[in-house]
């Protein structure tokens, strides 16, 4: 409970609030009317009056009725965790995509809460013939919100199409996404690996848009690495839905790099939250490299030794100090290549565009050009007669690229597994 309230206080300060007090209560089940008990509501009202507070924040999401009932008692604005996170996202949004995504999430949150926002209009009890102008205003406002949300969804669909087109332009590149709890150091790590100077601040949700950079893993291997929005406990579903085009970077990546702030006292729960969120994104089963970041700030060396023992495949690094980055690159390359498929392609030299496709989608190990009798090979137009010049290309490819090459070459008998290759060339 204390850790959860610490995080809520950090969120509140991030939004610009000055925190004066905390209240907790243990209940078998929340009150349908006020979430907390009636006695706690009275204590909250007394405390807000003494402190002259103008805002109360709940760590749990509240229903519109619960918010309305509590606000009547405490004479003060009440905001739940979802509303607070949405407010922070709104203040962080800079690009057209981020602003659109946040506005859509905010409107979805606001729509169900209109009933408490029109107190300046008269409303009567429900029933036939008793609907007052206040209810009419609410219905009108809902229609306005629905129309605005429809337009925002159209904008997001357009943004999604643009990003899909951009991703198609990455054909042949291996892609990796940095994921992790907010403020784990993902942006700092991308800066260090890509030798860039992207915005990287010690604050929650500093990154809302996916940023992609090229990272060189060794002399002949590059990866496209994306920094993504940080996760957090109880991340509102509205945000996950609205940020679907941004989070597609995670779903479409070949591998994930899970960055963990090892100095956080509750890092294990943060790791669980990230795993659960990846499950919601249908990305939990992707090959993942765990990076325990900020080891330079660790005071408990016993914890560090225990982590190394319990997570032998993890990387221990400091993005800020540049510690462990070479090991990270080596381990990432090993992870990327562990599922690579090795094959041999036989392609007539009269088809240079197909040869170029193999070079683009695979890592060529060896290439030679010889003459072959047909050997069961067929060209794209099926008009092969007698001997022909053939390129023999021995290559390795990621599963996704291998599938594309199989689709293009297997029907023509031009692709063989390297380990079962049978001689088909005649010198």
Which tens digit of pLDDT belongs to each residue from 7-47? 899 889 888 889 999 999 888 899 999 999 999 999 999 99
Q: With cut-offs at 50, 70 and 90, classify the pLDDT of residue 324.
A: very high
Q: Which CATH number describes the domain made up of 2-88?
A: 3.40.50.11060
Is 99 annotated to bind ligand?
Answer: no
Is 318 annotated to bind ligand?
Answer: yes
* pLDDT at residue 200 greater than cutoff 60: no
Is 317 annotated to bind ligand?
Answer: no
CA distance 241 to 104: 9
Q: 244: part of which helix (H) or strand (E)?
A: helix 244-252
* pLDDT at residue 347 greater than cutoff 70: yes
Is 75 annotated to bind ligand?
Answer: no
Cross-strand partners of 388: 372
Asked if the domains 2-88 and 173-337 are classified in one and the same CATH topology, the answer is yes
Is 185 annotated to bind ligand?
Answer: yes
How much is the average pLDDT of 397-415? 82
Is 134 annotated to bind ligand?
Answer: no
Is 183 annotated to bind ligand?
Answer: yes
Q: Which of 407, 402, 376, 400 is nearest to 390 (CA)?
A: 376
Is 389 annotated to bind ligand?
Answer: no
Q: With cut-offs at 50, 70 and 90, classify the pLDDT of residue 112.
A: confident
Q: With cut-offs at 50, 70 and 90, classify the pLDDT of residue 188.
A: very high
**The predicted structure's pLDDT at residue 15:** 86
* pLDDT at residue 381 greater than cutoff 60: no
CB atoms within 10 A of CB 362: 24
Is 259 annotated to bind ligand?
Answer: no
Q: Which of 31, 78, 88 is nearest to 57 (CA)?
A: 78
The CATH class, in words, for 341-420 is alpha beta
Average pLDDT, the chain: 83
Q: Max Cα separation, the chain?
A: 96
Is 316 annotated to bind ligand?
Answer: no
* pLDDT at residue 205 greater than cutoff 60: yes
Helices (H), ranges, 15-95: 38-51, 64-74, 81-92
Q: Which two tokens stand for residue 112?
A: 């169900």
Q: Which residues contact 247 (CB under 8 A, 6 or more apart)?
A: 228, 229, 240, 281
Q: For helices 96-111 and 133-168, what crossing angle results, to 10°? A: 150
The model's pLDDT over 245-270, given as tens digits with 9 standing for 90+, comes to 667 788 888 899 999 999 998 999 99
CATH superfamily of 173-337: P-loop containing nucleotide triphosphate hydrolases (3.40.50.300)
The model's pLDDT over 212-234, given as tens digits with 9 standing for 90+, comes to 899 999 877 889 999 888 888 88
Domain limits of the chain?
Answer: 2-88, 93-166, 173-337, 341-420
Q: Which two tokens stand for residue 35?
A: 């979430």
Is 181 annotated to bind ligand?
Answer: yes
């Amino acid at each position: 409970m204390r850790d959860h309230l610490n995080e809520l206080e950090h969120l509140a300060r991030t939004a610009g609030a000055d925190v004066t007090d905390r209240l907790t209560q243990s209940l078998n089940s929340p009150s349908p009317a006020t979430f907390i008990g009636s006695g706690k509501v009275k204590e909250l009202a007394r405390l807000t009056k003494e402190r002259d507070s103008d805002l109360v924040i709940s760590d749990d999401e509240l229903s519109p009725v619960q918010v309305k009932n509590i606000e009547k008692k405490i004479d003060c604005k009440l905001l739940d965790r979802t509303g607070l996170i949405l407010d922070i996202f709104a203040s962080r949004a800079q690009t057209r995509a981020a602003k659109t995504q946040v506005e859509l999430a905010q409107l979805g949150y606001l729509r169900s809460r209109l009933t408490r926002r029109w107190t300046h209009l008269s409303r009567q009890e429900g029933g036939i013939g008793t609907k007052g102008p206040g209810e009419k205003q609410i219905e009108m406002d809902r229609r306005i919100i629905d129309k605005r949300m429809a337009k925002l969804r159209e904008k997001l669909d357009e943004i999604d199409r643009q990003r899909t087109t951009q991703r198609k332009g990455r054909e042949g590149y291996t892609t990796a996404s940095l994921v992790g709890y907010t403020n784990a150091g993902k942006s700092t790590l991308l800066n260090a690996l890509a030798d860039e100077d992207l915005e990287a601040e010690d604050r929650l949700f500093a990154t809302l848009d996916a940023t992609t950079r090229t990272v060189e893993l060794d002399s002949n291997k590059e990866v496209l690495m994306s920094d993504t929005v940080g996760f957090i406990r109880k991340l509102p579903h509205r945000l996950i839905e609205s940020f679907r085009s941004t989070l597609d970077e995670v779903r479409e990546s070949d591998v994930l790099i899970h960055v963990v702030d090892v100095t956080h006292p509750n890092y294990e729960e943060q790791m669980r939250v990230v795993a659960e969120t990846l499950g919601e994104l249908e990305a939990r089963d992707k090959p993942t490299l765990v990076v325990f970041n900020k080891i330079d700030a660790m005071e408990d060396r016993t914890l560090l030794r225990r982590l190394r023992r319990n997570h032998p495949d993890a990387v221990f690094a400091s993005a800020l100090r540049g510690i462990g980055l070479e090991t990270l690159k080596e381990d990432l390359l090993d992870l990327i290549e562990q599922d690579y498929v090795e094959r041999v392609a036989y392609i007539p030299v009269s088809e240079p565009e197909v040869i170029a496709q193999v070079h683009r989608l695979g890592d060529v190990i060896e290439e030679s050009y010889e003459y072959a009798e047909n050997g069961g090979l067929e060209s794209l137009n099926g008009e092969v007669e007698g001997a022909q010049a053939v390129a023999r290309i021995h290559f390795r490819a990621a599963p996704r690229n291998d599938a594309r090459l199989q689709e293009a070459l297997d029907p023509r008998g031009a692709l063989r597994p390297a380990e079962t290759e049978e001689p088909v060339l005649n010198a």
